[in-house]
Structure 1
């Protein structure tokens, strides 16, 4: 899980190098990133064959891809303008959007405690955003938008997983994400890197995207999710460290109390989820 966090941090450095530093359009960079990841996923698709494509919920698959694509496009656009430390802290609000969405759209019972933790988490977001500060830029809302759309994609994934196999959900994500990203890139004029550094950055983004997802899957296959999930929060200091080493980006003073509120609220939600699962298991056994 720690290696997954480090790989995601490396992806973000590569994306910010290609966009913020080299001036490539973010939509093109995102397309090349996931195009490279798709090439690495071809052996997996071939191994599972056409059987993994059988589905009775094509509409939900397409809707999920739309949300996921908008999320990655907003994330890429955010990294083109927002320093890594701020972007990664804001995108960590995604679980709170999932909680609100589960209550509003899936009619799930959330509870007062979870709603309170969600408000605390969004309070941390407000502290990091600092909309009251002089020189505030609306671009900081892009990572927050990415968190919201990724949260929506997670809700649809949850609904799909009730009837679909994991192989089917993964196959449609791999096959549909790249062509839709291409459509976004074409609207700005598909751009190619103009320097060797650009090619290295895009290749690194694709490679580390595959590595991150591999390490993530490996972590969940080796241990319970309740054990490994807290280590996911290490991506916050890892991204801060990578951003500082690569670009000299240092967080402002408002980052630390805001990040603490987000992480504390997220940890409470995970703790509450473990209690709910344990209670459900006891009821099942009885």
Structure 2
């Protein structure tokens, strides 16, 4: 008789698997760009085109969803922001240690809160603004702009986090009128053409030795996204968040193993501030939205 895992445990396992996949993606991207000199726009184009091919059967099954929207311009805006985020992220990995990049990308929830308050006009309490300030201080500690080792390229992951947060804010607006399938399909279909436009300047040819790195990154991106969505269908974000943060350890470990990138003390202090502040933001959401505890599906 076969025993099935409890739903929360399965969701946690899927979240950990997604984090491990994303860490391997980052290692592949950094190897292709930093070690082999591949153009970041070209690598990003092929990565997401390969991921798109993975989703073609699902897109075909849900193809009628694209006809239901009346928010085309908002979809285009969301994709433009997402494209900017992925391009800056890959460009950042070409220049900064992976531990610094992944720690700074944790700032994204704070940018979402800022966008919700300033753009969506949602009510943001003083406590939440305080958490945002603490998170940003944590980011400053990681960046250490006062240090001789500071480089402007370290701001690229911060800019990526801001653009991804802006994309999340637009997504929230889109889901008020469009289904999840519609929002997802528009992102998948428009992402590759937009990336192609940016890659046209540097060409679409990959340096020798990077093809399999990029193919692997594309397939793992699709697997990670699929696993992530599945995890969120099984349990609530409040339950899954601690498991999502494990991706930091995966990235730090792989970065040290593959590239010899060892984080300094500022990384651990800054990350601790970011995690404490983001945990407070999440707990605030749980308290203000009854019924958001982890549930099986």
Bin for the TM-score computed over the shorter chain: over 0.9
Q: Is the 8 A contact 1:124 1:257 kept in 2?
A: yes
Shift of 1:73: 0.5
Q: Distance in 2 between matches of 1:280 and 1:192?
A: 45
Shift of 1:279: 8.1
Shift of 1:30: 0.3
Q: Distance in 2 between matches of 1:229 and 1:157?
A: 20
1:193 is aligned to 2:204: no
Matches within 5 A, 1:25-174: 25-174=39-188
1:273 is aligned to 2:285: yes
Q: Which stretch has the larger CA shift, 126-135 or 227-236? A: 227-236
Q: Distance in 1 between matches of 2:182 and 2:67?
A: 6
Shift of 1:188: 2.2
SS in 1 for 2:165: helix
Q: Which stretch has the larger CA shift, 228-237 or 68-77? A: 228-237
Q: Distance in 2 between matches of 1:51 and 1:113?
A: 39
C-alpha change, 1:2 and 1:280, in structure 2 (3 Å) is: closer
Shift of 1:143: 0.3
| Residue ranges of structure 1 left out of the alignment (5+ in a row) | 282-286
Counterpart of 1:248 (choices 252, 255, 260) is: 260
Structure 2-normalised TM-score? 0.91
Q: Distance in 2 between matches of 1:224 and 1:91?
A: 21
1:229 corresponds to = 241
Q: Is the 8 A contact 1:128 1:258 kept in 2?
A: yes
Q: Distance in 2 between matches of 1:133 and 1:225?
A: 36
**Greater fraction of residues in helix:** 1
Shift of 1:193: 3.2
Counterpart of 2:276 (choices 249, 253, 264) is: 264
Q: Distance in 2 between matches of 1:98 and 1:161?
A: 16
Q: Is the 8 A contact 1:53 1:171 kept in 2?
A: no
Shift of 1:280: 9.5
| Residue ranges of structure 2 left out of the alignment (5+ in a row) | 1-14
Moved over 6 A (4+): none
Q: Is the 8 A contact 1:25 1:191 kept in 2?
A: no
Structure 1-normalised TM-score? 0.95
SS in 2 for 1:188: coil
For the aligned residue pairs, the C-alpha RMSD in angstroms reads 1.4
Q: Is the 8 A contact 1:33 1:206 kept in 2?
A: yes
C-alpha change, 1:129 and 1:77, in structure 2 (3 Å) is: same
SS in 1 for 2:208: coil
C-alpha change, 1:26 and 1:252, in structure 2 (3 Å) is: same
Q: Distance in 2 between matches of 1:262 and 1:268?
A: 10
Q: Distance in 2 between matches of 1:57 and 1:107?
A: 20
Counterpart of 1:182 (choices 180, 192, 196) is: 196
Q: Is the 8 A contact 2:65 2:181 kept in 1?
A: no
**What count of residue pairs does the alignment treat as equivalent?**
279
